[in-house]
């Protein structure tokens, strides 16, 4: 099964932990909200990135990253 990544941008505060854990899938950019926000570069990343994606979701300070099976 393929992973699907979603992010609750209403709660994201751009701490960049996800970027540190998995830069292949996540980026953090400036937003009009006054603080950076995550951008998902690969909504359905390859299986080789599963461990890194799960770490990014687990370590997110606001717990805004959801990983589901597509």
What's the pLDDT tens digit per position in 2-15?
899 999 999 999 99
CB-based contact 14:31 (threshold 8 Å):
yes
Higher pLDDT, 70 or 59: 59
What pTM was computed for the model?
0.91
What's the confidence (pLDDT) of residue 35?
83
Rounded to an integer, the average pLDDT of 42-69 is 96
pLDDT tens track for 15-47 = 999 999 999 999 999 988 788 999 999 999 999
CB contact set of 55 (below 8 Å; sequence gap of 6+):
21, 22
Distance CA 38, CA 3 (A): 18
Identify the CA nearest to 39 among candidates 55, 56, 51, 54: 56
Q: Which domains does the chain have, with CATH numbers?
A: 3-65 (3.30.70.20)
Q: What is the CA radius of gyration of the chain?
A: 11
Judged by DSSP in three states, 6 sits in: strand
């Amino acid at each position: 099964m393929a992973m699907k990544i979603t992010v609750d941008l209403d709660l994201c505060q751009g701490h960049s932990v996800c970027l540190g854990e998995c830069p292949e899938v996540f980026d953090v950019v400036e937003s009009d909200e006054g603080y950076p926000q995550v951008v998902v570069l690969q909504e359905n990343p390859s299986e080789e990135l599963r461990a890194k994606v799960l770490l990014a979701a687990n370590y997110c300070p606001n717990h805004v990253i959801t990983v589901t099976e597509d």
